[in-house]
Structures are given as C-alpha cells and as structure tokens.
Amino acid sequence: MIKQKQLGNHLLIEYYDCDSEVLKNTSLIEKHMIEAAKIAQATIVESVFHTFSPWGVSGVVVIEESHLTIHTWPEYKYAAVDLFTCGNTIKPWVAFKFLEGKLKAKRADLTEISRGIVDRILEDNKNLL
C-alpha cells in the first residue's frame, strides 16, 4: 500500500490498568506529558493542566507541531491520550511508548489517523475555484 502525503499524524491512545496514584497526580502527569513532547522532538509552546474534584486530570501540551492531550480517570485506572503532530520530524510513537511506561499501563489500544491528506485538500481547493 502506498502511503499518501499527509500534513499530520494523530495517535488516539487508550491506556488501561494504569497506576491510579500517577493518574491522580496533576504535577506528575504534566511533567510526563512535557517530557513526552521533548523526547518526540516537538517544540513546546505552552502547557495547561486541570485537576478535577475528587480526582482526575485533563491537560494539553501545545506544541508548534500541534498538541498532546490527556484525560485521566484514576477510579478506572484509565487514561485517554491524543498525540497530534504535523510534519515529518516529530516522533509520536516514541512519546506513546514513553507514556505507556510512565503511566504504568498494562495494556494500550492505539488508533492512528492520517490528518490532512494532501490529495484530498487539493481536490477540495479545485472545487472552490
């Protein structure tokens, strides 16, 4: 199968049976997400994280190449993560494996989506002219 030229790559990740204490710790989750961006060779712009009551974390690391997000449910030992990267220098698969280890996930499901298929974009633009 020939891979089409795309603008971005989006990894949708489900981490199961994680360490609940890690998933509750907002500062630790932010630290891991920032480190994941760095080891993926992304350029960090800003990070914002929120702690829910009684527990759970949502956060985003905005990168020049798009974003990394996380939402945790410590009571279910579950985390949902999106790694959306543009360009061909970023390594989201490295970030995926890093986070799997840091969250102490026993299992992970991953869906990869190509974003911005160039042929489709150009076809759409022809219809606008």
Q: How far apart are the first and last CA of the chain?
A: 31
66 is catalytic: yes
50 is catalytic: no
Catalytic site residue from 47, 66, 67, 114: 66
| Rounded Cα–Cα distance for residues 94 and 97 (Å) | 5
In contact, 50 and 57? CB cutoff 8 Å: yes
Alpha-carbon distance of 108 to 81, in angstroms, equals 11
Catalytic residue among 20, 58, 71, 114: 71
The answer to whether 114 touches 11, Cβ cutoff 8 Å, is no
Question: Coil, helix or strand for 72?
Answer: strand
Catalytic status, residue 71? yes
Check 10, 18, 67, 86 and give the catalytic one.
86
Active site residues: 66, 71, 86
